[in-house]
Amino acid sequence: MLLAVLLPFIIAIFIPFLSKWKEKLHTGFFVTAVPVVIFIYFAQFLGAGFEPVTREYSWIPSLDINILFYLDGLSLLFVLLISGIGSLVAFYSIYYLHKSEQLGHFYVYFLLFMGSMLGVVLSDNVFVLYTFWEFTSLSSFLLIGFWNYKERSRYGALKSMLITVFGGLSLLGGLVFMSVITGTTSIQQMIRQQELILNHEFFPLILVFILLGAFTKSAQFPFHIWLPDAMEAPTPVSAYLHSATMVKAGIYLVARFSPMLSASDWFFIIVSTAGIVTLCWGSYMAVRQTDLKGILAFSTISQLGMIMAMLGFGTKVAIFAAVFHILNHATFKGSLFMIAGIVDHETGSRDIRKLGGLMTFLPVTATLALFASFSMAGVPLPFLNGFYSKELFFDSAINLEQTTTGIAAFLKTIFPYLAVFGSIFTFVYSMYFFFGTFRGKANLDELPKKPHEAPFGMLVSPMILVAGVIIIGLFPQIINEPFIAHAATAVKGFEFTKHISFWHGITLPFIMSLTVIAFGTVLVLSLTKWRSVYRIVPGVLSLNKFYDGLVDRTVSYSSIVTKSYMNGSLGRYVRLIIAAIVIAGFGIMAATDGFHLETSNLAEITVTELFVAFMMIIAAIGTIIVNNRIAAILILGVVGYGLSLLFVIYRAPDLALTQFIIETVTLALFLLVFYHLPKLEKKNESTSTKTLNLVISVGFGALMTMVAISAHSSKMFDSIADYFIENSYKLGGGDNIVNVILVDMRGLDTLFEITVLGIAAMAIYGLIRLRGSKKEEE
Amino acid sequence: MEIIMAVLAGILFTTAVYNLLQKQMLRIIIGTALLSHGAHLFILTMGELKRGAPPILSEEVEQYTDPLPQALILTSIVISFGITSLLLVLAYRASKKNGTDNMEQLRGNEYE
């Protein structure tokens, strides 16, 4: 099983080599073989007696992160969808993408996506799941931006990336919470410890995080806005990612965790409300679109909302219908995208206002479109699978489990009406899609190309998908027992099969279907009259405007924040740093009661020291006041020599010596350089700056004084000086203890201090001798 | 005496920081020099002042001052000397090349 998941990745490595021969043989032929092989491999698990299969491969055992694959009915449904539709899309893309395109890039991204999608649905380890999850976001980003010379492609790719990665990160948060609470990283183990999670105080957070991940990926309201913009991708990508597979990853996630989370009332409330709202909004907005792919994008959004709503309902019928509709939607939506691609390919336009009357030019395509769009609309004909799942959807919407909680009970009364409302618009846009494109008057002058039927190779994939629509429509039982039932069992946790039949009497769901068609027909016929409604409703409430504003404002606000302190002035940074030190230092001292004053162990005060200290203070202040360069330098010298006098007084002969010499050399250096530096300017700063500088520097000085006094007053243990004094002669063979420490006891310090001097010397040499160019010197 | 030395070190730090906050390079370097003086004094004060003879072994002495801070300061003096001289030469080169030693005027292009 590991090989099946890794196969796309492995083949992806070789694609760049294969694509060199793309002139002779389209790279797509090699690629098509991959999902076919995977499909055949997974098809062997099909059958009524299917049992879940587990495979474990070691990855990071120390963190309990292993590649743990768990193939149950739900995963099987998804892997077959991914590999099956993957094969068809790969085959379709051979005819769709011309050899002049960057086929190598395309197929590498495509295979990356396929492999990571297989990983998502097979992983039982949450962190492996998350890894593959982000891989799908990443490869989807690359695929949407495939024609990266188009501005809209880049915009769409970035938008989908931002939204899905936002959701992905919150998913990670939820997964981490769950694995910490349950102490395991396996989803199946977590489900077994359901009680622990449900009763944990962080349960609301977990629920929100996981659902955010699922809703962003599956384009649920209000995160659906990335999907219409992702239509800038090549059509095979739209067909594959944005109808059949990636957008269903969120559905998969909700289904996968629903045995655990659905016990909470909030799961029902959030998921089904989000689903129903998405269903209605998506189908309402789809009618507004003029681009074929735009219609399909909003249609996908709305259908995903429908599946999500059914997962939220959580009854046996609802789960069964949700799983069934995942399959049905993949068949008709995949083929519709391919049909839109064919129309685009053969006429040069996807604008439904320019299209029309293509029935006679593209008879085969039109027939396929007829089946697919009527199935999408849920027209009650016994050979269309969309009808069955829609019927089951109505059935589940009116047969919700009884609860007493306020909100949930209220929602249950309005859901059937919303379901019908959404379905009416589904009917409207399906008819609009079909009749707007293929019927009516043909205006060939406006089309960039003269339309003619597509090559046979391009028609094969949608044909197979439409055949699927019809076969499932005619014989719904053949996929019921061996396939859908297992998936529903995996979600709901117990065995359940629903007998799917076309005719089961005049029931309430059937009447709802008829209502949908009646209202839908009226609305389709009067479409031109009520079009202007759209100017009112989404007008101001456009979520895209909100998103654009958010992105723009993030950029502008962060630049304001950054510029507020990063203004390029070093003085300002130093001020900030020192002020932070002062505040933190005083804060800590105040918080820990850190100030001590102990006067019992002080050296006596003598006049000499006082005099020297006084002199140094005067000189130090002098460096600030004096405006004459040479005076400032000489006054600095006073401080240095004063320090060396203090070293003499405090019995540090070596220090005094060194300080004296170095002060002299430094002074000489100052004097050497000062000649070349501009004169000191009169300080013409504002009073406020001066005050600020004064406050900061006095604060810093006061802090250091307090630290020094406090540290001196609270010695915790004796110095280790005795060791050095005792062993200086014994071990080091020297009388001068300081020197023995420097070269013997702590010789390493000295070695690197020499290195520092050496580096400084070389740097100075370099600065003076090495010049970038002659010009610079002038 | 330690308290007076602590105050002195504090004043050195104060003037050092005030100099650091100025715009001219020469003043900034003077600030760093003062800062290292302050730090050396600080380390010395941390040890105990004037408790015994200079740390050079001889027969008749009972108690010596702590030699370890002295060794540390000695290392530090040499290093700060290296840094100060490098800074000075850097300031010289920078002002030669840019024609100014005012830090406020030494700014990179915003788009660099």
What confidence score (pLDDT) does residue B31 get?
92
Residue A310 · residue A294 · CB < 8 Å? no
Q: Are residues A572 and A706 in the same domain?
A: yes
Whether chain A has a CB inside 8 Å of the CB on B11: the answer is: yes
Of B21, B41, B70, the CB nearest to A696: B21
Of A677, A700, A753, the CB nearest to B101: A677
Q: Are residues A526 and A540 in the same domain?
A: no
**Total count of domains within chain A:** 5
Q: Which residues contact A777 (CB under 8 A, 6 or more apart)?
A: A771
Q: Are residues A540 and A516 in the same domain?
A: no
Of A603, A708, A724, the CB nearest to B6: A708
pLDDT along chain A (778 residues), means of 10: 86 83 77 87 81 87 88 88 90 84 86 91 91 92 89 90 92 92 88 84 90 91 87 88 85 89 84 90 86 89 91 84 88 89 84 80 85 86 81 83 70 83 89 84 73 79 86 80 79 69 72 86 82 69 80 90 82 90 92 80 83 92 85 90 91 91 91 76 71 90 89 79 87 88 90 94 89 56
DSSP tag of A100: T
Q: Are residues A644 and A737 in the same domain?
A: no
Which residues form the domain of B22? 2-50+66-103
Interface probe with A: pick from B32, B70, B86, B107, most Cβ of A within 10 Å? B70
Question: Is B45 a member of any domain?
Answer: yes
Interface probe with B: pick from A675, A737, A739, A748, most Cβ of B within 10 Å? A737
HEC secondary structure over A710-774: HHHHCCCCCCCHHHHHHHHHHHHCCCEHHHHHHHHHCHHHHHHHHHHHHHHHHHHHHHHHCCCCH
CATH (domain of B89): 1.10.287.3510
Residue A719 · residue B66 · CB < 8 Å? yes
Q: Which residues of A touch B97 (CB under 8 A)?
A: 776
Question: If you count residue pairs, one on A and one on B, with CB atoms under 8 Å apart, how many are there?
Answer: 271
Q: Which residues of A touch B51 (CB under 8 A)?
A: 603
ipTM surpasses 0.85: yes
Long-range contacts of B101-110 (CB under 8 A, 24+ apart): B101/A677, B101/A678, B101/B24, B101/B25, B101/B26, B102/A681, B102/B23, B102/B24, B103/A569, B103/A570, B103/A571, B103/B23, B103/B24, B103/B25, B103/B28, B104/A569, B104/A571, B104/B23, B107/A568, B107/A569, B108/A568, B110/A568
What confidence score (pLDDT) does residue A631 get?
87
Q: Are residues A689 and A764 in the same domain?
A: no
Question: Is B55 a member of any domain?
Answer: no
Q: Give the whole-angstrom CA distance, residue A508 versus residue A542.
A: 36
Q: Are residues A552 and A632 in the same domain?
A: no
Final residue before a domain boundary, out of A473, A508, A533: A533
The tally of CA atoms less than 13 A away on the side-chain side of residue B44 is 32
DSSP tag of A291: B
Whether chain A has a CB inside 8 Å of the CB on B61: the answer is: no
Which residues form the domain of A281? 265-533
Q: Are residues A342 and A402 in the same domain?
A: yes
**b/e map A50-78, b = 16+ CB within 10 Å:** bebeeeeeeeeeeeebbbbbbbbbbbbbb
In chain A, what are the helix, strand and coil shares in percent, each to the nearest 5? Answer: 75, 5, 25
Q: Are residues A189 and A295 in the same domain?
A: no
Cis peptide before A259 (omega within 30 of 0): no
Comparing CA positions, the residue from A670, A614, A138 lying closest to residue B32 is A670
What confidence score (pLDDT) does residue A584 get?
94
The DSSP result for A530-584, as a single string, is: HTTHHHHHHHHT-HHHHHHHHHHHHHHHHHHHHHHH-SS-HHHHHHHHHHHHHHH
Residue B108, pLDDT > 70, answer no
Q: Are residues A691 and A619 in the same domain?
A: yes
CB contact under 8 A, A738 and B55: yes
Residue B84 · residue B29 · CB < 8 Å? yes
Residue B35, pLDDT > 90, answer yes
Of A603, A610, A623, the CB nearest to B15: A623
For residue range A509-530, what is the model confidence (pLDDT) as tens digits?
888 888 888 888 888 888 777 7
Question: Is B82 a member of any domain?
Answer: yes
Q: Which residues contact A331 (CB under 8 A, 6 or more apart)?
A: A375, A385, A465, A466, A468, A469, A472
Q: Which residues of A touch B79 (CB under 8 A)?
A: 753, 756-757
pTM above 0.90, yes or no: no
**Total count of domains within chain B:** 1
What confidence score (pLDDT) does residue B112 get?
44
Residue A737 distance to chain B (closest CA, Å)? 6
The tally of CA atoms less than 13 A away on the side-chain side of residue A219 is 31
The structure tokens listed for A644 are: 């060396």
Q: Phi and psi of A59, rounded to 5°?
A: -130, -70
Residue B60, pLDDT > 70, answer yes
The tally of CA atoms less than 13 A away on the side-chain side of residue A184 is 15
How far does Cα A428 stand from its chain's mean position? 35
Helices (H), A314-349: 316-347
CATH (domain of A648): 1.20.120
Beta bridge partners of A125: A186
Residue A310 · residue A318 · CB < 8 Å? yes
Residue A124 · residue A68 · CB < 8 Å? yes
Question: Is B57 a member of any domain?
Answer: no
CB contact under 8 A, B82 and A636: no
What confidence score (pLDDT) does residue A467 get?
87
What confidence score (pLDDT) does residue A473 get?
82
Interface probe with A: pick from B35, B66, B112, most Cβ of A within 10 Å? B66
Interface probe with B: pick from A574, A643, A774, most Cβ of B within 10 Å? A643
Final residue before a domain boundary, out of A261, A293, A323: A261
